[in-house]
Structure 1
Amino acid sequence: MERNLRRIITGHNEEGKSIVAYDGPPMFGMNWVTNSSPADNKHKNDAAMQKVGLEPPTNGSKFAYFLLNPEDPSKSAEELEKEWTAGFAAIDASHCRPDTSRHPGMHKTKTVDYIILLEGEVTMLLDEDEVELKPFDIVIQRGTNHAWINKGTKPALLATILIDAEPI
């Protein structure tokens, strides 16, 4: 089965706004590398059972799936803002919303993220760009302000790995 794989890497322009730095085919086999992140493999506990908000622990990482429901076009801007505000508060991420002027779901974390769209179609909004994603597209999110929008009719499923990073 032939698939058109795609890799999108975000970055910042000279004004510090989030942009698409690369959009094209991935390198064969390797998509991104970080050079440090000590993990403790000695403990026997299920690490997924600890309470973690949107961002991973300091020097840590977080691997998760998330389901993105279709956006309801009948909701007002005020209703959307209220929902997104409550959603970010519920995952201890109110501080991750520096500029929501483009969309109430815009947020920025102190992480490098690896995201894979598994099912559905999603639009990634950045400060200066907008990218339509299809299944198996990958995004390397480098501490950029962004939002995930589902303009379709079915939920979208994404897998994400967030790794603590130096702040921008």
Structure 2
Amino acid sequence: MDWKSLRRVITDNSLEGRSRVLIDGEAAKLIAVEEAGLAEIWSADLADGGLRDVSDHLAESDLKLEPEPGAVKVRWFTVAPEDPSKSLEEREAAAAFGFGAIGAAHCRVDASRHPMMHKTESMDVIILIKGEVELLLDDGEVSLKPGDVVIQRATNHAWVNHGQETALLVAVLIHDQQ
């Protein structure tokens, strides 16, 4: 994955109320191992001036899977093709490491169906841009192709790629105030 080819454009209003570009460039933060990774686009506190906040908080903060309560997070993420040569133990160790690296070990509530199963306390709007993936749920699965949109509502799930090409997705994660 050529992460530098992914561009984020963030707009803003000047003091005179005129629209302008605030940021035009690559991701604020990236964590990737081989072809799998997360690249942060934007984050905002919705309850406290999220539309008016012009700071790019992501560059200074630790990369976390979930947005804070009352916040939204926008990111790209990739799902690499599964490697059939890896044992279940190797895939489990990789999943545990990956979720731990993004502060989400607690999200792995039931990984009995697949090592990448996890549950966040957010509503996620996921758009598949490139490649193909399967959305695994506790009961069932859905094959997705580019252009498909998933509204994932705080459910235990995993993204699995049985194809040959790394899948690219965009996620908008919304965490209400609980």
Same fold (TM over 0.5): yes
Partner of 1:20: none
Cα 1:72–1:115 change in 2 (3 A) is same
Identify unmatched segments of 5+ residues in structure 1. Answer: 1-36
| Higher RCO, 1 vs 2 (CA within 8 Å, ≥6 residues apart) | 1
Of the three residues 131, 134, 137, the one matched with 1:126 is 137
Partner of 2:53: 43
Deviation string for 1:23-66 (max 9, x for gaps)? xxxxxxxxxxxxxx434333332133233400001210110000
Quote the Cα distance in structure 1 between the aligned partners of 2:177 and 2:157. Answer: 18
How do 1:7-156 and structure 2 match up within 5 A? 37-38=46-47, 39-49=49-59, 50-156=61-167
Quote the Cα distance in structure 1 between the aligned partners of 2:158 and 2:142. Answer: 11
In terms of fraction of residues, the more strand-rich structure is: 2
Counting aligned pairs with the same residue, the percent is 50
Q: Which residue identity is paired with 1:114?
A: V
Quote the Cα distance in structure 1 between the aligned partners of 2:107 and 2:173. Answer: 14
- TM-score normalised by structure 2 residue count: 0.70
Q: Which residue identity is paired with 1:133?
A: L
How large is the RMSD of aligned CA atoms in angstroms? 1.4
Partner of 1:30: none
Runs of 4+ that moved beyond 2 A = 37-44
Identify unmatched segments of 5+ residues in structure 2. Answer: 1-45
Quote the Cα distance in structure 1 between the aligned partners of 2:67 and 2:139. Answer: 26
